């Protein structure tokens, strides 16, 4: 099976878990299941483009934008944004390694940091690990996330 046939297309998020309890929606309730923290996480998705010239990986992720007044967070908005990067396959096509690992910083907070790990797991699913610096009810915190995405079957024929 060709790489294009096996991997190209859209992937929908199945789950996103943090490595510890966090409250990133500022409601006073901590969770490890990010779907319980904000429904915006259900908008996360992946897109893998494979052509003769390039391999592109895009992760759509809800970036956090807090409303701060006099040093206190009043409300947190999430905006789903994409981050397109080139990649290559390693380890018999079970690992995706980004060749562009640039990190963007806004107001001292890391935005759009590249995933720390991307691997192909069972049934064509892809596991992505990210480390994000986010505002929580306990202050700014670095959080590790593990997301699992499954192929949708869409957009396989757009860029061949």
User: pLDDT (tens digit, 0 to 9) for every residue of the chain, 160 residues total?
Assistant: 577 778 888 999 999 999 999 999 889 999 999 999 999 999 999 999 988 778 999 999 898 888 888 988 888 888 888 888 999 998 888 899 999 888 777 666 666 788 999 999 987 899 999 998 888 989 889 999 999 999 997 665 444 4
Q: Distance between CA atoms of 8 and 132, rounded to whole angstroms? A: 26
With a threshold of 0.95, does the pTM exceed it? no
pLDDT at 82: 86
Question: May I ask the CATH architecture of the domain 3-151?
Answer: Beta Barrel (2.40)
Cα R_g (the chain), whole angstroms: 16
pLDDT at 160: 45
Taking alpha carbons only, the member of 150, 152, 116, 151 closest to residue 132 is 116
User: By CB neighbour count within 10 A (0-12 exposed, 13-18 middle, 19+ buried), where does 12 fall?
Assistant: middle
């Amino acid at each position: 099976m060709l790489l294009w046939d096996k991997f190209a297309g859209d992937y929908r998020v199945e789950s996103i878990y943090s490595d510890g309890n966090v409250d990133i929606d500022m409601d006073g309730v901590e969770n490890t299941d990010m779907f319980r923290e904000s429904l915006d996480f259900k908008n996360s998705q992946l897109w893998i483009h494979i052509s003769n010239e390039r391999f592109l990986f895009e992760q759509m992720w809800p970036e956090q934008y807090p409303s701060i007044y006099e040093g206190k967070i009043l409300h947190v908005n999430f905006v789903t944004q994409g981050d397109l990067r080139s990649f290559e396959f390693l380890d018999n096509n079970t690992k995706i390694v980004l060749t562009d690992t640039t990190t963007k910083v806004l107001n001292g907070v890391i935005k759009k940091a590249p995933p720390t790990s991307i691997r192909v797991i069972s049934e064509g699913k892809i596991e992505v690990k990210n480390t994000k610096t986010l505002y929580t009810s306990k202050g700014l915190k670095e959080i590790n996330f593990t997301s699992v995405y499954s192929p949708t079957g869409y957009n396989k024929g757009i860029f061949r």
